[in-house]
A and B are shown apart, each in its own frame.
Chain A
Amino acid sequence: MSEAVAETPSISLLDLAFTFNHIALASFGGGLSAWSREVLVVEKKWMGEEEFLSAVTMCRILPGANQVNLAVFVGTKMRGIPGAISAIIGLTTIPVVLILILGYAYFKFHEVPALQGVLRGATAAAVALTLSMAVKTGKKCLGSVVAVALFLGAFLLNGLIRFPLLGTVALIGPLALLWAWPKPAKK
């Protein structure tokens, strides 16, 4: 399965930049990971579901903003260093311009424009996007008792008890590896 995904057709640098620009602009109010999955896995099919999910966690553990990291990961995977740069430029250029306009207006007029209400609504929907990503990806990979236990463990520790991300991965990660390690007897 991973071989089929690895055989990616050559993607132009412009396509990378536009794709990440699309992801960034669509993320009004948050929910960037859920958007990334929609675009990268479902729409463009640049990565498989499992590769995407493992990349998301890797990008969260490594230092740096998760979405910037994911752009570097996908850009590097597709086209090496130029790909990573294209993806980052696509992800950040227009948001930087927009945020500078907002910031200029804020420091000039000392108030955030009537945007606040809009953002409250958009954020509620962005949260929903993240929740729906959990449902959609969960349907595909929670097929066994062990998988459900790993899922519940991560949610309880990180979500309910608010255990730090690194600690959660340090506790659940080894169990996940043990469970998923390829069995030589079967191959």
Chain B
Amino acid sequence: MNVKTLIQIIALFSSLSLLSIGGGNTVLPEMHRKTVQVYHWMSDSQFADVFAISQAAPGPSILIVTLIGYKAGGILGAIIATIAMMLPAGLLVYMVTRFWQNAQNSPLRHAIEKGFAPLTVGLVLASGYVMSRAADHGWHAYILTGLCTIIFVFTKVNPLIVVAVAGLIGYLGLV
């Protein structure tokens, strides 16, 4: 990998890191534009497939940048892209967390923790709803999601087992 590519990787992902307000998915359009149209690191359909792989693999879905870095600059590119994407935003979160820890007894912290709890539950339900609209194709999948939800809420079965069984059901082509 040449130095120019390396610098492009660092510049692109460290700036996207700070722009990804609300999560990694918000910068996907810009990531696509730069990766496919500006730098020509991969084709349109490769980007779509790399996105699918990163969504499916365990770990944070932001690891799509690992695969883009890999295509652009091999293993070193993959590692550099991953670090560039996490470092700037990570530093910001570190500073906010330190401030948060120091505000242990402030009324603001108390109000945010108590007041944001119902708000967050609404957001969690919203993301579950949106994900299920996007991921569940057809009534088979909706039923599977519904059944799993009931199992998770009312039983203490290890969720890993449920996910594994659901994966097997998918492997058999039933959803």
Contacts and interface: CB of A to CB of B under 8 A. Distances in A.
Interface of A: 2, 6, 24-30, 32-35, 38, 49-51, 53-54, 56-69, 72-73, 76-77, 81, 84, 88, 91-92, 94-96, 98-100, 102-104, 106-107, 112, 114-115, 117-138, 141-142, 147-148, 150-156, 158-160, 162, 164-166, 168-169, 172-173, 176-182
B68 to A, nearest CB: 9
Interface of B: 17-24, 46, 49-50, 52-63, 66-67, 70-71, 75, 78-79, 82, 85-86, 88-90, 92-94, 96-98, 100-101, 104, 107-132, 135-137, 141, 144-149, 151-153, 159-160, 162-175
A151 B121 contact: yes
B121 A141 contact: yes
Contacts of B124: 33-34, 56, 130, 133-134, 137
Helix, strand, loop or mixed for chain A's interface?
helix
Contacts of B162: 125, 128
Contacts, number: 371
Given A118-B167, A120-B175, A137-B117, A125 B60 contact: no
A150 B120 CA distance: 9
B20 A63 contact: yes
Contact of B113 (A54, A81, A129, A159): A54
A103 B166 contact: no
Contacts of A96: 59, 63, 66, 78-79, 82
Nearest to A142: B118
B120 A122 contact: no
Contacts of A147: 117-118
A104 to B, nearest CB: 8
Contacts of A158: 122-123, 126-127
Given A25-B59, A137-B117, 9 more contacts: A26-B159, A30-B131, A61-B21, A88-B86, A98-B57, A102-B53, A112-B52, A112-B53, A123-B56
